[in-house]
């Protein structure tokens, strides 16, 4: 049965699957239907699925796979576009820095056919941590290198060190610092000053109740080639203004991304602290292994996230203050993106071309809590 994605949006996955999940408080009634719940014959592949900022990357990865590239190499080439783009402040060069103004990057990757994985966390000075993660996978018996060790490894492998803090990101960081404490020695910017958050980068930032920008932005990309071999990668500069050394979900195999060549792949962008607790990418792949469609699997992971969220991060109706998105693709080319709130999109490239599609969601955009969103790493006493 093939039913339109439009019919699904609004999170009908659970009822259609006959699951007994319980509905998070305030979520839309689960009245939809499931798209592509049965395997696709013939398979829809090659196919690339990514967070929305990978719209150029999915096209690149699809083209590479068409020319015979390995699915992980293709996915990494796709995310390299964002890592090297100084206007994407969520990854690589130009990523927003930690609270000390230092850009620290996380990435991980998995290669389905060889069942290998690699990751780096809190690495500084290297614009393409996705490629360093792959080098860890290819050239070591380890899975993850962090911090100074990861950087030394990268330099030994021939990666070039560079200053990743662009002028735009430096100004955004300074603006955040000036607003931190009204009693400090920094003078706040004049009223109405959009600070350094103008231009293309501003669209990628969120703003807390004080107008201070922050982002959890990231890029995840999963690729399936014509044979059904799979690769997945996630790369990020992580939470802006984070405590130095903070590591999010992106470099954690099973959280930021996961790939099983028999089943499919999944990945995440958004609040890593929420995703880590449910190992969301692994969980999504496991749900798909149990027979759920990608939509069902991702909505069920999102529900698990909310069930595992502490009350300070939920409104009175149990809706999260934070953003978290998931993406998934099966070995036969079914796919989905999911978000807590209506309005998110994700990128996909297949025989129909590269495009953005709407994520399935749990809550209407109009139901999004207006209270101050999560903007920092400190829990106020
Ligand atoms: N998902 C990116 C992060 O939390 O670092």
Reported as a pLDDT band with limits 50, 70 and 90, residue 366 is: confident
Task: Please work out whether the CB of residue 80 comes within 6 Å of at least one atom of ligand 1.
Answer: no
Q: Residue 99's closest CA among 322, 375, 371, 381?
A: 375
Q: Residue 78's closest CA among 306, 354, 285?
A: 354
Task: Please work out whether the CB of residue 24 comes within 6 Å of at least one atom of ligand 1.
Answer: no
Residue 279, both tokens:
């190992």
User: Distance between CA 222 and CA 47 in Å, rounded?
Assistant: 8
Cross-strand bridge partners of residue 119: 108, 144
Task: Please work out whether the CB of residue 95 comes within 6 Å of at least one atom of ligand 1.
Answer: no
Residue 59 pLDDT greater than 60, yes or no: yes
Reported as a pLDDT band with limits 50, 70 and 90, residue 38 is: confident
Task: Please work out whether the CB of residue 269 comes within 6 Å of at least one atom of ligand 1.
Answer: yes
272 CA distance to ligand 1 middle (Å): 4
Average pLDDT value for residue range 329-353: 96
Reported as a pLDDT band with limits 50, 70 and 90, residue 371 is: low
Residue 25: the pLDDT is: 53
Residue 198 pLDDT greater than 70, yes or no: no
Q: Which of 269, 277, 323 to mutate to test the pocket of ligand 1 (most atoms within 8 A of CB)?
A: 269
Residue 192: the pLDDT is: 56
369 CA distance to ligand 1 middle (Å): 21
| Weakest mean pLDDT among 214-228, 273-287, 320-334, 351-365 | 214-228
Task: Please work out whether the CB of residue 108 comes within 6 Å of at least one atom of ligand 1.
Answer: no
User: Distance between CA 341 and CA 189 in Å, rounded?
Assistant: 32
Could you tell me if 326 and 309 are in contact, meaning their C-beta atoms sit under 8 angstroms apart? no
Q: Residue 75's closest CA among 90, 85, 65, 89?
A: 65
- The more confidently predicted of residues 35 and 156 is 156
Say yes or no: domain 22-165+215-367 is CATH 1.10.3720.10: no
103 CA distance to ligand 1 middle (Å): 14
Residue 154, both tokens:
């990268």
Residue 4: the pLDDT is: 35
- Give the relative orientation of helices 71-83 and 129-139 as an angle to the nearest 10 degrees: 150
Residue 5: the pLDDT is: 42
Reported as a pLDDT band with limits 50, 70 and 90, residue 136 is: very high
DSSP line for 209-277: TTS-EE---EEEEEEE-TTS-EEEEEEE--STTPPTT---STTSBTTTEEEETTTEEEEEEE-HHHHHT
Average pLDDT value for residue range 96-108: 96
Could you tell me if 137 and 126 are in contact, meaning their C-beta atoms sit under 8 angstroms apart? no
Task: Please work out whether the CB of residue 214 comes within 6 Å of at least one atom of ligand 1.
Answer: no
CA distances from 337 to 49, 58, 96 (A): 8, 14, 25
Q: Counting atoms of ligand 1 from 1, which one is nearest the CA of 242?
A: 5
Residue 251, both tokens:
């470099």
Average pLDDT, the chain: 85
33 CA distance to ligand 1 middle (Å): 31
Number of residues assigned to the chain: 381
pTM for the model: 0.86
> What residues act catalytically?
218
CA distances from 128 to 70, 78, 160, 168 (A): 18, 11, 10, 19
> Which of 18-27, 151-160, 368-377: highest mean pLDDT?
151-160
Residue 327: the pLDDT is: 98
pLDDT tens, residue by residue, 312-329: 899 989 999 889 999 999
pLDDT tens, residue by residue, 162-191: 999 999 999 989 988 887 777 777 776 666
Residue 376: the pLDDT is: 44
Reported as a pLDDT band with limits 50, 70 and 90, residue 66 is: very high
Exposure b/e, 103-132, CB count within 10 A at least 16 = b: bbbbbbbbbbbeeebbbbbbbbbbbbbbbb
User: Distance between CA 88 and CA 201 in Å, rounded?
Assistant: 6
* Tokens 């799979």 found at: 230
77 CA distance to ligand 1 middle (Å): 20
User: Distance between CA 349 and CA 103 in Å, rounded?
Assistant: 31
Exposure b/e, 59-68, CB count within 10 A at least 16 = b: bbbbbbbeee
Residue 120: the pLDDT is: 98
270 CA distance to ligand 1 middle (Å): 5
Residue 344: the pLDDT is: 93
Indicate which residue's Cα is closest to atom 4 of ligand 1: 272
Q: Which of 51, 106, 129 to mutate to test the pocket of ligand 1 (most atoms within 8 A of CB)?
A: 106
Q: Which of 216, 234, 274, 340 to mutate to test the pocket of ligand 1 (most atoms within 8 A of CB)?
A: 216
3-state secondary structure of 321: coil
Q: Which of 241, 249, 376 to mutate to test the pocket of ligand 1 (most atoms within 8 A of CB)?
A: 249
Residue 9: the pLDDT is: 41
User: Distance between CA 218 and CA 238 in Å, rounded?
Assistant: 7
CA distances from 225 to 112, 207, 297, 336 (A): 11, 38, 22, 17
Task: Please work out whether the CB of residue 215 comes within 6 Å of at least one atom of ligand 1.
Answer: no
Task: Please work out whether the CB of residue 218 comes within 6 Å of at least one atom of ligand 1.
Answer: yes
Cβ contacts of residue 379 below 8 Å, gap of 6+? 312
């Amino acid at each position: 049965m093939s039913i339109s994605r439009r019919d699904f949006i609004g999170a009908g996955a659970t009822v259609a699957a006959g699951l007994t999940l319980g509905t998070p408080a305030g979520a839309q009634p689960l009245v939809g239907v499931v798209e592509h719940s049965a395997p696709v014959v013939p398979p829809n592949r090659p196919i690339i699925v990514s967070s929305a900022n990978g719209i150029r990357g999915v096209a690149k990865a699809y083209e590479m796979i068409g020319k015979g590239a390995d699915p992980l190499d293709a996915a990494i080439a796709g995310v390299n576009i964002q890592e090297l783009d100084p206007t994407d402040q969520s990854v690589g060069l130009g990523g927003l820095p930690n609270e000390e103004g230092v850009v620290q990057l996380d990435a991980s990757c998995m290669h389905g056919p060889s069942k290998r994985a690699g990751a780096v966390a809190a690495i500084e000075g290297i614009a393409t941590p996705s490629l360093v993660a792959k080098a860890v996978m290819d050239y070591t018996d380890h899975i993850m290198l962090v911090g100074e060790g990861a950087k030394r490894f990268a330099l030994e492998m021939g990666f070039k060190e560079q200053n990743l803090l662009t002028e735009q990101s430096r100004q955004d960081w300074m603006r955040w610092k000036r607003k931190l404490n009204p009693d400090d020695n920094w003078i706040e910017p004049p009223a109405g000053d959009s600070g350094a958050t103008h231009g293309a980068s501003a669209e990628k930032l969120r703003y807390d109740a004080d107008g201070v920008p922050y982002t959890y932005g990231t890029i995840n990309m999963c690729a399936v080639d014509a044979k059904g071999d799979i690769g997945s990668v996630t790369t990020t500069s992580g939470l802006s203004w984070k405590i130095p050394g903070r590591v999010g979900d992106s470099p954690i195999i099973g959280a930021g991304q996961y790939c099983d060549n028999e089943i499919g792949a999944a990945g995440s962008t958004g609040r890593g602290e929420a995703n880590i607790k449910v190992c969301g990418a692994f969980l999504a792949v496991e749900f798909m292994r149990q027979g759920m469609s990608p939509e069902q699997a991702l909505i069920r992971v999102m529900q698990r996230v909310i069930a595992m969220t502490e009350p300070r991060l939920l409104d009175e109706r149990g809706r999260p203050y934070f953003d978290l998105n998931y993406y998934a693709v099966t070995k036969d080319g079914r796919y989905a993106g999911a978000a807590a709130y209506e309005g998110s999109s994700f990128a996909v490239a297949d025989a129909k071309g590269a495009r953005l599609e709407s994520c399935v969601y749990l809550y209407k955009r109009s139901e999004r809590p207006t209270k101050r969103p999560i903007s920092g790493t400190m829990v106020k006493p």
